[in-house]
Amino acid sequence: MAAYEPKNILITGAAGFIASHVANRLVRNYPHYKIVVLDKLDYCSNLKNLNPSRPSANFKFVKGDIASADLVNYLLITESIDTIMHFAAQTHVDNSFGNSFEFTKNNIYGTHVLLEACKVTGQIRRFIHVSTDEVYGETDEDAVVGNHEASQLLPTNPYSATKAGAEMLVMAYGRSYGLPVITTRGNNVYGPNQFPEKLIPKFILLAMRGLPLPIHGDGSNVRSYLYCEDVAEAFEVVLHKGEVGHVYNIGTVKERRVIDVAKDICKLFGLDTEKVIRFVENRPFNDQRYFLDDQKLKRLGWAERTPWEEGLKKTIEWYTTNPDYWGDVTGALLPHPRMLMTPGVDERHNWTEEFKSLASSPVEASTTAPASSAQNSTDAPQKPGYKFLIYGRTGWIGGLLGKICDKQGIPYEYGKGRLEERSQLLEDIRTLKPTHVFNAAGVTGRPNVDWCETHKQDTIRTNVVGTLNLADVCREQGLLMINYATGCIFEYDAKHPEGSGIGFKEEDTPNFTGSFYSKTKAMVEELLKDYDNVCTLRVRMPISSDLSNPRNFITKIARYDKVVNIPNSMTILDELLPISIEMAKRDCRGIWNFTNPGVVSHNEILEMYKKYINPDFKWTNFTLEEQAKVIVAPRSNNEMDASKLKAEFPELLSIKDSLIKYVFEPNRKVPAN
């Protein structure tokens, strides 16, 4: 069979670890190929990985998400793409136990977008889909022959399940539409540039810092490791010699126990394994062994070239030369980075405290492996080790958070320090030792935001300086901060007209500067983007079932003589505040529109009030122009796109359904018909 010769290749996820080595190799070895790389630059990707290729005339980088159909179609057409090498994926198993929807979105939906674009454009001559050996599931400990390409797929964790699901789509598009697909399934890969949530770079960085190496379980789990350049060569072979419709394992029969990997790294650093190896609790569903049959790829001419000892030395040399390449990776070095337990599993350790103990006494680390889960099966289950630190005790949201924690049995304390005083915040954290921090403190004005117009310095001090202070202290201490922000930083515009159903998304730039309060909120939200330990929740026009609370939006408008009638996104606190606690447990980060899906107008709410609470209630409307005569600062009116939150929490009710369930039915005074 003649070798395949591509012209214009699109490589997805190319700023990540494996794909960057493949991209750099192809750019270097084939100057007549045009290499277009697409990457959204997620936490584990780095544009520096592509530095060897960036000066080359045949290289082009595009920042973007494979989930954007418009972008993918545009690139295929404008760059005349004839070949796709699809690496982009969420890959860290621990993360998949806590945020599996994100894995479905990236690994399955993103792949589907690519396949559909290939079908529509009709110009793709090769689609190479990069999968994993984990789709086969666990290999029997006594198996002599590894999983071959026709073996049954039996994934055991959310990550591998999404990769198997993506494979099914690839196979279906190959059979249904004749798409020229090839799939690869690979062993573990190691080498320079890898984000240190993975085993080998994590152990190297910990060893460099003089910290213990945490081993999951007893360290007997077996894995096979290939050096990154050997893997890049394997993809070069598959690209040119792989047969359409086939699957190729990229692996090695040389296996190593995790404990042996740790010992080899200790040896190269001159460390005493008895002092630096620390056994910690195993992760959920940690497969004992993955073992591949690698003969099919070898028949195409590929072979592993780099011995384990040589590859490990090269990798250690790179990390010692580039210790700050990834910046602050403290969170990734935890025994279970961002780990969240799956439903039905109750036990969870406080790994923030675990890391602190690892850091404080490295030479005293335990070298005794913990008992297996089977041995501990009779032990009473322990509740997760949470402790929340809440700021904003006298505020509405802060007070409600305490009540929810009481109801859920979560230990919590209210912060005593003022947000503007860094030393006081540090004292709170050191004294209380929280696992999460919630910031519900802020200046909104009394009785409303008009107060902020005449108290600008006070507003800045709390809403901007104080919030940044707390975020910075939490980042130093390795803590996630849930920050209750506002969605009152947008107003309807030409792209998001009233009544269109087109809401502002998390990535949209704030466009409302009518009030000084909103200005400070938009300002601090932009600055918080540089803090990866913050989860910003945009609350809008909050409503609760407590209709006696003067801060409740319904209570406010029910007391007004006149109200405007404009549809808005709103936040039902009875439903969404418990979700915010779950978001902390899931380690959600970044910006989230924290509203119920859809919009509801003032009149629609008051009609419900009349139907459920007071059938004699009456009100009149006035225009925005009339409203402007009785307020100091303009008010924000908008629709927020809550699809991101809905995807994470599919049970989330629409605004009108939530109003009925959580607010009006519990307060019903008018008998139902």
Residues with catalytic roles: 133-134, 159
Question: Running DSSP on this structure, what letter comes out for residue 78?
Answer: H
Strands 480-486, 534-539: pairing kind: parallel
Specify whether the CB–CB gap between 87 and 22 falls below 8 A: yes
SS3 480: strand
Copy the structure tokens of residue 551. 């801060």
* Beta-carbon count within 10 A of 483 CB: 25
Tell me the C-alpha distance between 501 and 173, whole Å: 33
**Type of residue found at 590:** G
What is the rounded (10 degree) CA torsion for 420, 425, 428, 431? Answer: -150
Tell me the C-alpha distance between 196 and 202, whole Å: 5
For 295, residues 6+ apart whose C-beta sits below 8 A from its C-beta are 148
User: Minimal CA–CA distance to 123: which of 219, 44, 7?
Assistant: 7
85, 184, 224, 346 from 234: Cα distances, Å: 13, 10, 16, 42
162, 391, 665 from 224: Cα distances, Å: 22, 47, 58
Beta partners for 129? 86, 183
User: Minimal CA–CA distance to 567: which of 502, 634, 495, 643?
Assistant: 502
Tell me the C-alpha distance between 557 and 620, whole Å: 11
Copy the structure tokens of residue 47. 């544009």
What element of type H or E holds 176?
Answer: helix 158-177
* Beta-carbon count within 10 A of 601 CB: 16
Three-state SS for 99-146 is CHHHHHHHHHHHHHHHHHHHHHHCCCCEEEEEEEHHHHCCCCCCCCCC
Copy the structure tokens of residue 50. 């592509």
**Type of residue found at 29:** N
Question: What is the number of helices (H) and of strands (E) in the chain?
Answer: 25, 20
Strands 255-257, 222-227: pairing kind: antiparallel
Tell me the C-alpha distance between 458 and 149, whole Å: 65
Copy the structure tokens of residue 434. 């929280």
Tell me the C-alpha distance between 199 and 196, whole Å: 7
Tell me the C-alpha distance between 432 and 350, whole Å: 14
Tell me the C-alpha distance between 583 and 536, whole Å: 11
